[in-house]
Structure 1
Amino acid sequence: MSTPPADSAMTDEEYGALRASAALWCGTSVLITDVFGRVLVQHVDYLDTCLLPGGGVDKGESPAHAAGREVREELGVTLRVEHGLAVDWVSADSVDAPAAMRFPGEILHVFDGGTWDDDRIAAIRLPDHEIDSIEFVEPARLPDLLSPRDARRALSALRARINATGAVVLENGLPIAPSVLDRAGILRTDRPEHRFAFHPAAAPTGLPVRQSWGWLFDADGRVLVLLDPQSGAACLPGGTPEPVDQDDWVATLRREAYEEATARFGEPVLVGHVCDTDTDTACARVRYAAALTSVGPRRVDPATGVAHIRILATPEQALELFDWGRPAAEQLAAVHRARERLGIRRAARQPVTELPPIA
Structure 2
Amino acid sequence: MTDDRATTFARARAAAGVLFFNDHDHIMLVDPSYKDYRDVPGGYVERGETPRQAAEREVAEELGIHPEIGRLLVADWAPNEAEGDKVLFLFDGGALTTDQLNAIRLDPSELVGYQFHDIAQIHNLTIPRLARRLVHAHAAHRNGSTRYLEHGNAPERGS
TM-score, normalised with respect to structure 2: 0.90
CA distance in 2, matches of 1:143, 1:16: 43
Q: 1:75 to 1:20 in 2, by over 3 A?
A: farther
Deviation at 1:158, TM superposition (A): 0.6
CA distance in 2, matches of 1:55, 1:16: 32
2:47 counterpart SS class:
coil
CA distance in 2, matches of 1:146, 1:177: 24
Match of 2:153 in 1: 174
Count matched residues.
157
Q: Percent identity?
A: 32
Q: 1:82 to 1:16 in 2, by over 3 A?
A: farther
**1:80 pairs with one of 51, 68, 79:** 68
User: Greater relative contact order (Cα 8 A, min sep 6): structure 1 or 2?
Assistant: 2
CA distance in 2, matches of 1:146, 1:158: 15
Matched, 1:46 2:25: no
CA distance in 1, matches of 2:4, 2:27: 41
Matches within 5 A, 1:84-163: 84-93=72-81, 97=82, 103-163=83-143
Listed one character per residue, the Cα deviations across residues 130-157 of structure 1 (whole Å, up to 9, x for unaligned) are 2001111111222122111011101111
Match of 2:54 in 1: 66
2:3 counterpart SS class:
helix
Deviation at 1:177, TM superposition (A): 6.3
- On the 8 A contact 1:26/1:106 being kept in 2, the answer is yes
- On the 8 A contact 1:86/1:157 being kept in 2, the answer is yes
| Stretches of structure 2 lacking an aligned partner (at least 5 in a row) | none
Q: Which amino acid aligns with 2:153?
A: L
Listed one character per residue, the Cα deviations across residues 205-233 of structure 1 (whole Å, up to 9, x for unaligned) are xxxxxxxxxxxxxxxxxxxxxxxxxxxxx
Deviation at 1:119, TM superposition (A): 1.8
- On the 8 A contact 2:33/2:108 being kept in 1, the answer is no
CA distance in 2, matches of 1:118, 1:45: 25
Larger CA Rg, structure 1 vs 2: 1
CA distance in 1, matches of 2:63, 2:15: 17
Q: 1:58 to 1:111 in 2, by over 3 A?
A: same
Q: 1:173 to 1:51 in 2, by over 3 A?
A: same
CA distance in 2, matches of 1:84, 1:65: 12
- On the 8 A contact 2:10/2:85 being kept in 1, the answer is no
- On the 8 A contact 1:73/1:127 being kept in 2, the answer is yes
Deviation at 1:176, TM superposition (A): 2.6
1:174 counterpart SS class:
coil
Deviation at 1:15, TM superposition (A): 2.8
CA distance in 2, matches of 1:161, 1:175: 16
- On the 8 A contact 1:43/1:134 being kept in 2, the answer is yes
| Stretches of structure 1 lacking an aligned partner (at least 5 in a row) | 1-10, 98-102, 179-359
